[in-house]
Amino acid sequence: MPTAPKVNKKRQCRPCQPGWELNKPSCYAYNNPDLAKRKTWEEAREDCRGKGSDLAVAHDQQQKDAISFYSKGSSGSNGYWVGLRDEDGRWKWVDGSELTDNSWIGDPTVGHCAISFQNNRWKSVNCDTKQRWICKKSTLSVYTLQSYY
């Protein structure tokens, strides 16, 4: 006969890893390093990929609001890289989809990527500028194994 699982009151399942913030249904990590450690769009994307994620993508207003929320302390030309860049004269997300609402940012410019600011503002800037960045990934899932006796 199986025994009951042990309960450890100090352990707790969390949907996001330490250093990541939950904004359902995803986890976000906002990276706000000192000016000297900020990254270009490509460098920021590589950093996110190294964390098992990618630059943040927003396909609806709720996701855009989440990205805006994590764009803390942004102003002027200092925002946060998101996963949106110009590809052949069209805004494309890092997941391969196209931006469907250009009112968020306006027309793309060759060599530009998008940065996010608080208050749902986005701006097109040269991808080679150094900015902060926001990574996004799915929440953690817990799978259970069942044994049949």
Q: Could you tell me the domains of the chain?
A: 23-138 (3.10.100.10)
Helix (H, G, I), strand (E, B) or coil at 147: coil
For the whole model, what pTM was predicted?
Answer: 0.81
**Closest CA relative to residue 109, chosen from 138, 84, 81:** 84
Read off the pLDDT of residues 90-148 as tens digits, 9 standing for 90 and up: 999 999 999 988 888 988 999 999 999 888 789 999 999 999 999 999 886 544 334 43
Question: Which of 10-19, 56-65, 87-96, 117-126 is the least confident region?
Answer: 10-19
DSSP line for 30-88? EE---GGG-B-HHHHHHHHHHTT-EE---SSHHHHHHHHHT-TT-BTTB-EEEEEEEET
CA dist 17 and 35 (Å) reads 26
How confident is the model at residue 1, as a pLDDT?
A: 47
Q: Between these two residues, 136 and 24, which has the higher pLDDT value? A: 136
